[in-house]
Amino acid sequence: MSIAKRVTLPVLCAAALVLEACPTVRVPELMDASRTTAANPGNYPLKVHLRSGDLLVLSSWSDLPGDSGLAGRGSRYDVRRRLVGSFSGGIARDSIALLEMTRGQVASPVGSVVLGVYTVLAGAVTIACLADPKSCFGSCPTFYLDEAQDRPVAEGFSGSVARSLEATDVDYLAEAHATGRGFAITMRNEALETHAVRSVRLLVAARPEGGSVVAAGDGRMYAASEPTAPARCESRDGDCAALVSRRDGRAWFSRADSTDLGASDSIDLLFPAIGGPAALVVTARQSLASTYVFYQSLAYAGSRAGEILAAVEREGASAFGGAWTLMHRLGSVEVLLRSTDGTWRPVGAFGEPGPIAADRQAVPLGSVAAGPVRLRLRFARGAWRFDELGLVALGSLVRPIALDPARVERGGVADTLALARLRDPNRYLVTNRGDQYRIVFDLPADGANLEFFLESTGYYYEWMRPEWLREENPAMLALIAVNPAAALRAMAPGYARLEPRFEELFWASRFGGR
Amino acid sequence: MRELGMVLALAFGVAGGLRAQATSPQVDVTGRAITLLMVRGPQEVRGELLAVRRDSLWVLAGRPERVVAVRLRDVSEATVRRHGWTAARGILWGLGVGAASGVGLAVACGKVSCGSGGALIPGSMLVGVAVGGIAALSYQYSSRWRFRPVTEVKLAPFARFPQGPPPGGFDVLLRPTRDSVVVRP
């Protein structure tokens, strides 16, 4: 949708709605019977009050010659104002008591202005959000399946906000169901960002009998049993088992601490005995806490943001280590296993940057002892949304087949240049807001028996926005650099104010113009 | 675009419906609704303004209907219906826009699995009611003309019989029920 359409449509709608919100006031004006009736402003009928008490409502009328009366057509009402019938003819002047004209006015009480402004704002936000949901609710390169073009199934390399931070991201495509030898996915850039995509590959592996393939955080893949739901899930807020027992989009989450975004939270899980090598399978996505911290940090950097990002390019994340400490604190879920002696032992971590699409990762636990398995997840309060937490028995390592794109289409037309760039590991496909590419892969076997993972490599640059420059704050920037924990405490009240409606009204903040 | 159309249709539907309700017939053949604040007798008289003279006015009031005649000097203030936008309609407008917006946001939210779609509609409706409530105060105030002091010249245009009582008096207006009564001053 072009900018002109985006602006024009809401404005036209708003104007119409504001006019709709203004009531019409009918102001009666009495005239002596001797006055001429030629002038009656507006489109209202003329009311003729007769001396008998009856009323004539005339839709058309004219003066009779010699000022003897009126002629007209309309309706006649008796004193009880019951309709007597239609009227057509002359009316003697001396039978007329009064003439009544009606003047229409559009009243503009303050209420109309209030409702008009509200309607305009609500309409504009809603229309903008419907036209481009991701500009309201998300960011980063996103991927869509052909059969679900309205919902991203993966987001690529969300943490790679500079070239030096280029990374490879592997996302499990839980909803991908291919039949035959073809598979397509659409990559979109819907944010105020420039994406540099080095490669997009499809990793496929044969689905094991009665199970699935799971990917660990280090990229290794395993054959695994189907996940077993926890027998018990205890959070600070109470029982969470129902929400995390299966992947259904209903996620458990907690509110962030309003005094410290780094405040710790935990979930305790109890699984039935499994024995042998096992893994915790986590399907989750980040809340918007990390998004808030990242963009608030950019806002504090203000006019220095470019300089800082350039330093990150030269020196890597260490150039602004405090910021990465913040992001790591919010972007990691520590997994602990309860030993037979009652102590909690760290066994791994889950981390998937980005608040848009949930990813599934396995956290290998090693060989667990016989008996129930007790796990604790430790994470920053309010930073995560857990959709599924399940225990699987791990099988052998799986080597997936990595598929390069076979075709790339843009606007329904083959784009050989984009294809060449995605297939060449030394070049990037650079995309800007609004770009989208349909990437087609040729499968080595019938897709019905395969598990799919998307591997994307690249980085992206945020476009600076004027709003960010207004919040430049060198003191907060320094605090982030030297004392990240204190910075998380300082940012907590601001996030707490936004949090209840942040998911819904993401666009309304400085981040919303994405 | 289908969702966009849905939201617009809902918003315009609510607005149009309310506007239609608020707009009285093209021409009222009866008198305007009037409320009289009295300095003596009953505290308040409400009904349809029938006629007004230099020293008296007549109101068709109550159920069962009765014609109440009032001395103008006993009236401290008269309010006459100006338009049909009442407080309730202001709140309904806000609620309608809030609901339409909430539906739209929930649809948009669902497209990217934002996970909070369920709270959007009630939340948006609450905001709409709050805004409508503010507007309602204004509508409530502007929906009436207030006259103080009360005179024949000011009120006559709003009467069913601006020329004064009909020749046969008002008895003919009352429905022929046992309870109908004409109250004389």
Q: Are residues A94 and A142 in the same domain?
A: no
Q: Are residues B106 and B130 in the same domain?
A: yes
Counting the structural domains of chain A, the total is: 3
> Does A111 sit within 8 Å of B90, measured CB to CB?
yes
> Does A109 sit within 8 Å of B138, measured CB to CB?
yes
Render pLDDT for A478-497 as a digit per residue (tens, 0 to 9).
888 888 889 999 999 988 88
On the question of pLDDT at A68 being above 50, the answer is: yes
Least trusted range by pLDDT, from A436-450, B59-73, B154-168: B59-73
Q: Are residues B109 and B41 in the same domain?
A: no
A6 Cα to chain B: minimum distance (Å):
12
Q: What are phi and psi of A442, to 5 degrees?
A: -95, 125
Instruction: For residues A24-47, give the mean pLDDT.
Output: 73
Residue A28: list chain B partners with CB under 8 A: 157-158, 162
> Does A150 sit within 8 Å of B114, measured CB to CB?
no
Give residue A12's domain range. 3-22+107-131
Nearest CB among B84, B97, B164 relative to A122 is that of B97
Q: Give residue B10's pLDDT.
A: 53
CA distances from A287 to A143, A256, B91, B114 (A): 19, 10, 34, 9
Q: Are residues A75 and A207 in the same domain?
A: no
Q: Give residue A506's pLDDT.
A: 54
B178 Cα to chain A: minimum distance (Å):
18
> Does B7 sit within 8 Å of A126, measured CB to CB?
yes
Q: Are residues B152 and B62 in the same domain?
A: yes
Q: Give residue B177's pLDDT.
A: 44
Instruction: For residues A433-452, give the mean pLDDT.
Output: 89
Residue B179 confidence class, pLDDT cut points 50, 70, 90 = very low
Residues 6+ apart with CB under 8 A from A30: A98, A99, A100, B156, B157, B162
Q: Are residues A347 and A465 in the same domain?
A: yes
C-alpha A465/C-alpha A210 separation (Å) is: 50
Q: Are residues B40 and B113 in the same domain?
A: no
Residues 449-488 of chain A whose Cβ lies under 8 A from any Cβ of chain B: none
Q: Are A124 and B1 in contact (CB under 8 A)?
A: no
Q: Are residues A38 and A118 in the same domain?
A: no
The enclosing domain of A54 has a CATH number of 2.30.30
Q: Which amino acid is at B161?
A: F
Q: Does A119 touch chain B (CB under 8 A)?
A: yes
On the question of pLDDT at A453 being above 50, the answer is: yes
Q: Are residues A189 and A84 in the same domain?
A: no
Q: Give residue A247's pLDDT.
A: 85
Q: Does A51 touch chain B (CB under 8 A)?
A: yes
ipTM score above 0.85: no
Q: Are residues B97 and B131 in the same domain?
A: yes
Q: How many CB atoms lie within 10 A of CB B10?
A: 17
Q: Are residues B97 and B135 in the same domain?
A: yes
C-alpha A196/C-alpha A308 separation (Å) is: 19
Q: What percent of chain A has pLDDT over 70?
A: 87
Q: Give residue B117's pLDDT.
A: 56
Structure tokens given for A208: 């094991």
Structure tokens given for A65: 């010659």
Residue B110 confidence class, pLDDT cut points 50, 70, 90 = low
Q: Give residue B79's pLDDT.
A: 92
Q: Which of A480, A492, A479, A481 is nearest to A260 (CA)?
A: A492
Residues 84-103 of chain A whose Cβ lies under 8 A from any Cβ of chain B: 97-98, 100, 102
Q: Which of A130, A250, A287, A386 to mutate to test the interface with B (most CBs of B within 10 A)?
A: A130
Handedness of CA A206, A403, B112, A488 (dihedral sign): positive
Q: Which of B180, B177, B167, B175 is nearest to B51 (CA)?
A: B167
Residue B172 confidence class, pLDDT cut points 50, 70, 90 = confident
Query: Mean pLDDT of all residues in chain A?
Result: 83
Q: Where are the beta strands (DSSP E) in A236-353?
A: 238-239, 252-253, 264-271, 276-286, 333-338, 344-350
C-alpha A284/C-alpha A166 separation (Å) is: 23
Residue A3 confidence class, pLDDT cut points 50, 70, 90 = very low
Q: Which of A386, A357, A408 is nearest to A148 (CA)?
A: A357
Q: Give residue A165's pLDDT.
A: 78
Q: Are residues B21 and B106 in the same domain?
A: yes
Q: Are residues B137 and B168 in the same domain?
A: no
Handedness of CA B64, B65, B66, B70 (dihedral sign): positive
Nearest CB among A53, A57, A501 relative to B166 is that of A53
Render pLDDT for A279-321 as a digit per residue (tens, 0 to 9).
999 999 888 888 888 878 888 888 888 788 788 777 776 777 7
Q: Are residues A13 and A31 in the same domain?
A: no
Q: Which of B18, B113, B144 to mutate to test the interface with A (most CBs of A within 10 A)?
A: B113
Q: Give residue B8's pLDDT.
A: 55
On the question of pLDDT at B15 being above 60, the answer is: no
Q: Are residues A353 and A313 in the same domain?
A: yes
Q: Give residue A362's pLDDT.
A: 93
Render pLDDT for A198-220 as a digit per residue (tens, 0 to 9).
999 999 999 888 899 999 988 89
CA distances from A495 to A134, A139, A294, A470, A473 (A): 20, 18, 12, 18, 17
Q: Are residues B135 and B51 in the same domain?
A: no
Q: Are residues A159 and A171 in the same domain?
A: yes
Render pLDDT for B136-161 as a digit per residue (tens, 0 to 9).
888 888 888 888 888 888 899 999 99
On the question of pLDDT at A498 being above 50, the answer is: yes
Question: Where is the domain boundary, A131, A166, A192?
Answer: A131
Structure tokens given for A127: 């229309």
Residue A326 confidence class, pLDDT cut points 50, 70, 90 = confident
Least trusted range by pLDDT, from A178-182, A436-440, B121-125: A178-182
Q: Are residues A69 and A121 in the same domain?
A: no
Q: Are residues B21 and B89 in the same domain?
A: yes
Instruction: For residues B120-134, give the mean pLDDT.
Output: 87
DSSP code of B161?
B
Residue A28 confidence class, pLDDT cut points 50, 70, 90 = confident
Structure tokens given for B105: 């946001």
C-alpha A467/C-alpha B19 separation (Å) is: 39
Q: Are residues A407 and A434 in the same domain?
A: yes
Counting the structural domains of chain B, the total is: 2
Instruction: For residues A369-378, give the mean pLDDT.
Output: 90
Give residue B57's domain range. 31-83+145-185
DSSP output for A400-427: PEEE--SEEEETTEE-HHHHHHHH-TT-
On the question of pLDDT at A468 being above 90, the answer is: no
B85 Cα to chain A: minimum distance (Å):
7
Q: Are residues B76 and B160 in the same domain?
A: yes
Q: What are phi and psi of B77, to 5 degrees?
A: -155, 145
Q: Are residues A18 and A52 in the same domain?
A: no
Render pLDDT for A238-289 as a digit per residue (tens, 0 to 9).
999 999 998 887 889 889 999 999 999 999 999 998 878 999 999 998 888 8
Instruction: For residues B55-66, give the mean pLDDT.
Output: 86
On the question of pLDDT at B9 being above 70, the answer is: no
Q: Are residues A123 and A210 in the same domain?
A: no
Question: Where is the domain boundary, A96, A131, A166?
Answer: A131
Q: Give residue A239's pLDDT.
A: 92
Residue A21 confidence class, pLDDT cut points 50, 70, 90 = low
Q: Are residues B138 and B91 in the same domain?
A: yes
Render pLDDT for A122-144 as a digit per residue (tens, 0 to 9).
887 777 667 655 555 545 788 99
Nearest residue in B to A127, CA atom: B4
